[in-house]
Amino acid sequence: MSELLFLGTAGARYVVAKQLRASGGVLLKIEDQFLLLDPGPGTLVYLAKNKIPLEKIKVILVSHQHLDHCADLNIVVDAITEGGFKKRGILYLTESAFKEPILLSYLHPFLLKIEFLKPKTLYEEPPFKFKTTSELKHSVETYGFLVFLPENKILGFLSDTAYFEELVEEFREAQILVVNLVREKSLNGVLHLSVSEVKKLLQKIKPETVILTHFGMTMLKANPFKIAKKLSEDLKIHVIAAYDGMKFMII
């Protein structure tokens, strides 16, 4: 049984800065190994609070270089490798994030491998197997992911992006879809998804389960649980709003 653990569900700057929600990203457990997606601020604290065995974090995946997705990357690399004493972990990130640089150079040899994400590419690090989407519409190089689970299901991660029609094809295969839903209403020039855009997407792809996360202030004010309930009723699919520390079992 694979498992998702939401170490944080905060999205935009204000929610992260005030820590109205935690901002630790998402952990996927397959067998007894972990994939850590987007280690934002506080990830190390929440890994410790959840008693996650750090040496079992095999893959770290960073969708893009914004701080809410990678602020704890350096300390997590240091922690899982015991300060470089044990070479561990495979890091996948965008070339743009690497050049920023989001990872301090003295930490590079601590990792087993650092690899750049390319669009529409398959990566295999057993038990993890995932492919990238084409580049999303965000202010920096950003990818979404489709993870192939041993339960013969596909788990989609729809990271920060503006809405664009190709998202339908990109995520059509996903039975379980995690969506970064930052805004209640769309705002011109803001490259994040809003409720009506997510609804438009879900109407076309109908996954079994949708998990909303990465909430900005307008979403928190609107109450993500109410929005998930309304989307479930309107679309007749299972939509849930993630909360900090939420576990989701995949069977």
Least gap, CB of 68 to Zn ion (angstroms): 4
With DSSP H G I counted as helix, E B as strand and the rest as coil, what are the percentages for the chain, rounded to 5?
A: 30, 30, 40
Q: How far apart (Å, rounded) are the C-alpha atoms in residues 189 and 112? A: 39
Q: How far apart (Å, rounded) are the C-alpha atoms in residues 221 and 251? A: 33
Q: How far apart (Å, rounded) are the C-alpha atoms in residues 42 and 32? A: 23
- Which residue, 68 or 184, is less far from Zn ion as judged by CB? 68
- Which residue, 106 or 164, is less far from Zn ion as judged by CB? 164
Least gap, CB of 69 to Zn ion (angstroms): 6
Phi then psi for residue 177, to 5 deg, are -130, 120
- Other CB atoms within a 10 A radius of the CB of residue 63 amount to 31
- Which residue, 69 or 153, is less far from Zn ion as judged by CB? 69
Least gap, CB of 117 to Zn ion (angstroms): 15
Least gap, CB of 49 to Zn ion (angstroms): 22
Binding site for Zn ion (CB under 5 A): 66, 68, 160
- Other CB atoms within a 10 A radius of the CB of residue 75 amount to 14
- Which residue, 141 or 160, is less far from Zn ion as judged by CB? 160
- Which residue, 11 or 89, is less far from Zn ion as judged by CB? 11
Beta bridge partners of 179: 158, 212
Least gap, CB of 87 to Zn ion (angstroms): 30
